[in-house]
């Protein structure tokens, strides 16, 4: 028996108020952090002056212009997009699996994307020179996206029988598939030379340093589409939180919600990994913290996660590029170093809630 | 037709390696790559340097320069932040996004060819000298003479010794240099023969593979920082059953040389090959 809490409307009413305010506050916070990020970096470029010079056509220093328009601005946009995508993909997975620890890794996306990227880094040099010239540096992102997407499709195929996706099968099959894919990655890694091994290591630690307008233009539409589809899932995921059977009874198209959530999460996580490599913990920390503050209502949780994820990643990127300037600390190290202890604290201070 | 252009460019690039342009007036140089930095110091042009990458730690004075990151993981803003008027980077610097952005920034970017061979290190020396466009205090000539002397010494060897280069001992397993490694190149330049030819790159050897390699000498790096107890490591190495049964193990022949000196393929490579030759064959 699934117990539906009696005073549901009133709680939802009070939380909705909170949720709306949280989304507004987060929008403001994200905007402030994004603007701040334009002012920080190794080059010491003055953001306001440079932007003013660009807007008024006054020219200004050529290096400052490159730093602002070709480095910091695309980095800011990439940070917002990747952070938002990771957090929303995490929130979708947690809603779908009804487990606060779920993330797109359960869909095989991370393992598949790693295999794609590793293969591109190690075997890309064997491609014909003409193909390399055409693909250029987009080879690794494209391979990562395709790898993540393919792994998810295989898993979805395994878990879906006669039009019904079994979330439990997906979870278990995902573990087996991820192990298999990691084995393939191992084979490719064994073939790698020293330089490629270095590249692999850095790719796994993530970075926004490679953010360029061309990459963003390629990933942007996919992310925007998946984000729009995700935000429309809020009511379906809320219904699913009551359990599949109840969700069906209250009239939710459970299969459609599952399919859309899986496809959208894979698209979001896949493009995020393609843009920035491996960045951990945003997808778990951002939605989880918000759930504690504003509650589990996906109508507010999803947009709030998007904003908070973006703000967190841009803030981490500011630290990543200034801490050891002129060199950079890979951002994945920072998100894990901040996210790990934070998550432990979250667990410890909410033990009663979690154990219940 | 449009596809033919990149192909043609690629073919041209392969056929004619880009000739380095001289930059006699560059005063704010960023050096990327350990060997490039070492050449710049050897040529006495270090006053023109403003930054280096993480792999540039020789000579020790270079460590005082700002570090713009690992050469394959450079940050565009980091490099631009030192306001360079010239970037001299060894081939393989990256990531490609950063290199493309730096090239488009209008700051001259000179790529120095690299290669673990006498020809490769000479090309590197000549390219650095050409880019600096300063009077060379005989670095290129001295390198050429050293490489020639090493080649002559190597040619005089009738019975090349089989040398196993052990990069490290991971829990009793030997991480050995296979084909196409810098270690193999310097071993051959010194008149030796790489004992491990079954794979490319640096990979762990099984005990049986160590015995099959039958090395006469084991070559290891000495980082020269005193972190590793060399005597203890030597005892550990010779105590491994597989190593003990090889000719090198029986004779206790372990040669140690400074890592960057041995494998850096910079200005001292000719001398390193000669030193290794003397260590292997014990003659002048």
Contact A193 B200 (CB under 8 A): yes
C-beta separation of B37 from B129 below 8 A = no
Residue A9 included in any domain: no
- Give the count of domains, chain B: 2
Residue A234 included in any domain: yes
Please tell me the predicted confidence (pLDDT) of residue A82.
96
> Is the domain of B51 the same as that of B164?
no
Q: How far is CA B50 from the centre of its chain?
A: 23
**Residue A136 belongs to domain spanning:** 37-355
> Is the domain of B124 the same as that of B28?
yes
Q: What does the mean pLDDT of chain A come to? A: 87
Residue B152 included in any domain: no
pLDDT band at A11 (very low <50, low <70, confident <90, very high): very low
The residue of chain B nearest to residue A330, with distances taken between CA atoms, is: B73
> Is the domain of B123 the same as that of B177?
no
The residue of chain A nearest to residue B81, with distances taken between CA atoms, is: A43
pTM exceeds 0.90: no
Contact B78 A194 (CB under 8 A): no
Residue A252 included in any domain: yes
Contact B80 A66 (CB under 8 A): yes
- The CATH number given to whatever domain includes residue A186 is 1.10.3470.10
Residue B4 included in any domain: no
Show Cβ contacts of residue B34 under 8 Å, excluding neighbours closer than 6 positions.
Answer: B55, B56, B57, B58, B90, B260, B264, B266
Please tell me the predicted confidence (pLDDT) of residue B122.
95
- Tell which of B95, B112, B139 closes a domain: B139
Residue A18 DSSP SS3 = helix
Residue B178 included in any domain: yes
Residue A17 included in any domain: no
Optimal mutation site among B1, B15, B51, B75, interface A, most CBs of chain A within 10 A: B75
The residue of chain A nearest to residue B12, with distances taken between CA atoms, is: A129
- Which of A67, A193, A207 has its CB closest to that of B80? A67
Interatomic CA distance for residues A136 and A128, integer angstroms: 12
Please tell me the predicted confidence (pLDDT) of residue B271.
95
Cβ burial of B157 (10 Å; 0-12, 13-18, 19+) is middle
Selection from B176, B254, B188, B182 nearest residue B222 by Cα:
B254
Highest averaged pLDDT of the listed ranges A75-89, A168-182, A282-296, B56-70: A75-89
pLDDT band at A316 (very low <50, low <70, confident <90, very high): very high
CA dihedral A314, A317, A318, A322 (to 10 degrees): -170
- The CATH number given to whatever domain includes residue B266 is 3.40.50.1980
> Is the domain of B174 the same as that of B276?
yes
> Is the domain of B69 the same as that of B181?
no
Q: How far is CA A103 from the centre of its chain?
A: 9
Retrieve residue A103's tokens.
């993330």
Q: What letter does residue B258 receive in the DSSP assignment? A: E
B chain contacts of residue A199, beta-carbon cutoff 8 Å: 72, 94-95
Q: Does A130 lie at the interface with B, CB-CB under 8 angstroms?
A: yes
Residue B5 included in any domain: no
Please tell me the predicted confidence (pLDDT) of residue A158.
93
Left, alpha or beta for A80 (phi > 0: left; psi -120 to 50: alpha)? Answer: alpha
pLDDT at A238 over 70: yes
State the ipTM, two decimals.
0.76
A chain contacts of residue B81, beta-carbon cutoff 8 Å: 41-44, 325-326
**Do β-strands B49-52 and B86-90 pair in parallel, antiparallel, or remain unpaired?**
unpaired
> Is the domain of B134 the same as that of B165?
no
Please tell me the predicted confidence (pLDDT) of residue A77.
96
Query: pLDDT tens digits, chain B, 284 residues: what are they?
Result: 444 444 444 444 444 444 678 999 999 999 999 999 999 999 999 999 999 999 998 899 999 999 999 998 898 999 999 999 999 999 989 888 899 899 988 899 999 999 899 999 999 999 999 999 988 899 999 999 999 999 999 999 999 999 999 988 877 788 999 998 999 999 999 999 999 998 888 888 888 899 999 999 999 988 666 666 778 888 888 888 889 999 999 999 999 998 888 998 999 999 999 999 999 998 64
> Is the domain of B171 the same as that of B79?
no
pLDDT tens figures, A95-114:
998 887 788 888 888 899 99
C-beta separation of A292 from A350 below 8 A = yes
Task: Outline where chain B has alpha helix (H).
Answer: 4-15, 34-42, 76-81, 96-104, 118-132, 139-155, 182-189, 207-213, 230-239, 241-244, 247-251, 259-263, 269-281
- Of chain B, the end-to-end C-alpha distance in Å amounts to 61
Please tell me the predicted confidence (pLDDT) of residue A110.
87
> Is the domain of B127 the same as that of B220?
no
Backbone angles phi, psi at A250, to 5 degrees: -85, 5
Residue A155 included in any domain: yes
The residue of chain A nearest to residue B50, with distances taken between CA atoms, is: A326
Residue A27 included in any domain: no
- Which of A136, A202, A324 has its CB closest to that of B96? A136
pLDDT at A356 over 70: no
* Exposure b/e, A281-304, CB count within 10 A at least 16 = b: bbbbbbbbbbbeebbbbbbbbbbb
Helices A282-294 and A73-97 cross at an angle (nearest 10°) of 70
Interatomic CA distance for residues A247 and A165, integer angstroms: 15
Show Cβ contacts of residue A28 under 8 Å, excluding neighbours closer than 6 positions.
Answer: none
Task: Outline where A38-72 has alpha helix (H).
Answer: 47-55, 62-66
- Give the count of domains, chain A: 1
Residue B131 included in any domain: yes
Q: Nearest 5 degrees, angle CA A163-CA A166-CA A170?
A: 120
- Which of B70, B77, B97 has its CB closest to that of A137? B97
> Is the domain of B252 the same as that of B163?
yes
Closest approach of B74 to chain A, Cα-based (Å): 7
Interatomic CA distance for residues B227 and B218, integer angstroms: 20
Please tell me the predicted confidence (pLDDT) of residue A34.
94
Contact B77 A136 (CB under 8 A): no
- Which of A71, A130, A136 has its CB closest to that of B76? A71
Residue A32 included in any domain: no
pLDDT at A154 over 90: yes
Please tell me the predicted confidence (pLDDT) of residue A51.
84
- Tell which of B104, B139, B174 closes a domain: B139
pLDDT at A159 over 50: yes
CB atoms within 10 A of CB B151: 16
Residue B172 included in any domain: yes
C-beta separation of B73 from A202 below 8 A = yes
Q: Nearest 5 degrees, angle CA A283-CA A285-CA A286?
A: 75
> Is the domain of B259 the same as that of B163?
yes
**Residue B209 belongs to domain spanning:** 157-281
Please tell me the predicted confidence (pLDDT) of residue B226.
63
Closest approach of A306 to chain B, Cα-based (Å): 27
What number is the average pLDDT over the span A210-221?
88
Q: CA–CA distance from B98 to each of A46, A302, B21, B31, B105 (Å)?
A: 21, 34, 21, 15, 11
Highest averaged pLDDT of the listed ranges A249-253, A279-283, B17-21, B213-217: B213-217
> Is the domain of B164 the same as that of B235?
yes
B chain contacts of residue A66, beta-carbon cutoff 8 Å: 80, 101, 104-105
Residue B210 included in any domain: yes
Residue A7 included in any domain: no
- Tell which of B81, B109, B139 closes a domain: B139
pLDDT band at A285 (very low <50, low <70, confident <90, very high): confident
A chain contacts of residue B66, beta-carbon cutoff 8 Å: 326
Please tell me the predicted confidence (pLDDT) of residue A139.
84
Show Cβ contacts of residue B89 under 8 Å, excluding neighbours closer than 6 positions.
Answer: B31, B32, B33, B36, B71, B99, B109, B110, B111, B112
How many A/B residue pairs have CB atoms within 8 Å? 110
The residue of chain B nearest to residue A194, with distances taken between CA atoms, is: B201
Retrieve residue A216's tokens.
């963003």
Contact A66 B201 (CB under 8 A): no
> Is the domain of B167 the same as that of B80?
no
Q: Does A195 lie at the interface with B, CB-CB under 8 angstroms?
A: yes
């Amino acid at each position: 028996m699934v117990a539906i809490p009696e005073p549901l409307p009133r709680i939802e009413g009070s939380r909705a108020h909170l949720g709306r305010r949280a989304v507004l506050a987060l929008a403001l916070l994200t905007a402030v952090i994004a603007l701040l990020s334009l002012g920080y970096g190794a080059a010491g470029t003055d953001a306001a002056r440079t932007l003013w010079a660009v807007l008024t056509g006054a020219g200004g220093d050529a290096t400052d212009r490159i730093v602002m328009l070709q480095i910091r601005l695309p980095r800011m946009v990439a940070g917002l997009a990747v952070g938002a995508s990771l957090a929303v993909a995490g929130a979708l997975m947690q809603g779908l699996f009804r487990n606060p620890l779920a993330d797109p890794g359960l869909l095989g996306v991370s393992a598949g994307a790693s295999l794609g990227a590793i293969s591109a880094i190690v075997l890309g040099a064997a491609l014909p020179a003409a193909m390399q010239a055409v693909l250029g540096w987009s080879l690794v992102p494209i391979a990562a996206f395709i790898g993540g997407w393919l792994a998810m499709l295989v898993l979805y195929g395994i878990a879906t029988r006669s039009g019904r996706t079994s979330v439990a099968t997906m979870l278990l099959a995902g573990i087996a598939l991820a192990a298999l894919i990691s084995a393939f990655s191992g084979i490719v890694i064994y073939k790698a030379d020293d330089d490629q091994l270095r590249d692999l290591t850095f790719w796994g630690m993530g970075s926004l340093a490679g953010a360029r307008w061309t990459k963003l233009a390629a990933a942007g539409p996919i992310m925007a589409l998946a984000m729009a589809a995700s935000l429309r899932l809020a009511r379906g995921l809320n219904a699913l939180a009551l359990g599949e059977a109840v969700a069906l009874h209250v009239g939710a198209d459970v299969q459609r919600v599952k399919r859309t959530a899986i496809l959208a999460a894979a698209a979001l996580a896949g493009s995020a990994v393609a843009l920035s490599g491996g960045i951990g913990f945003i997808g778990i920390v951002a939605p989880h913290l918000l759930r504690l503050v504003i509650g589990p209502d996906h109508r507010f949780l999803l947009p709030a996660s998007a904003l908070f994820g973006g703000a967190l990643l841009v803030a981490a990127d500011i630290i990543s590029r200034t801490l050891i300037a002129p060199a950079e600390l890979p951002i994945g190290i920072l998100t894990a170093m901040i996210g790990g202890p934070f998550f432990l604290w979250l667990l410890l201070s909410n033990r009663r809630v979690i154990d219940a | 037709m449009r596809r033919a252009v990149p192909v043609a460019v690629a073919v041209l690039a392969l056929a004619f390696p880009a000739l380095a342009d001289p930059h006699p007036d560059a005063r704010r140089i960023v050096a990327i790559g350990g060997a490039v930095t070492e050449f710049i110091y050897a040529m006495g042009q270090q006053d023109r340097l403003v930054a280096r990458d993480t792999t540039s730690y020789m000579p020790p004075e270079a460590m005082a320069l700002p570090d713009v990151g690992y050469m394959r993981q450079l940050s565009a803003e980091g490099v631009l932040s030192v306001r360079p008027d010239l970037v001299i980077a060894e081939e393989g610097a990256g990531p490609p996004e950063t290199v493309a952005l730096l090239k488009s920034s209008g700051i001259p970017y000179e790529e120095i060819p690299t290669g673990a061979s006498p020809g490769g290190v000479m090309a590197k020396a000549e390219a650095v000298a050409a880019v600096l466009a300063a009077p060379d205090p005989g670095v290129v000539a001295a390198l050429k003479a050293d490489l020639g002397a090493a080649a002559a010494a190597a040619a005089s060897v009738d019975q090349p010794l089989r040398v196993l280069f052990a990069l490290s001992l991971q829990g009793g397993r030997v991480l050995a240099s296979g084909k196409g490694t810098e270690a193999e190149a310097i071993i051959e330049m010194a008149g030796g023969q790489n004992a491990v030819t079954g794979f490319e790159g640096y990979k762990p050897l099984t005990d049986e593979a160590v015995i099959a390699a039958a090395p006469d000498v084991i070559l290891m790096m000495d980082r020269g920082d005193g972190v590793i107890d060399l005597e203890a490591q030597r005892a550990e190495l010779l105590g491994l059953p597989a190593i003990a049964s090889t000719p090198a193990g029986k004779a206790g022949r372990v040669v140690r040389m400074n890592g960057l000196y041995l494998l850096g393929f910079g200005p001292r490579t000719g001398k390193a090959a000669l030193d290794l030759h003397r260590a292997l064959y014990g003659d002048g």
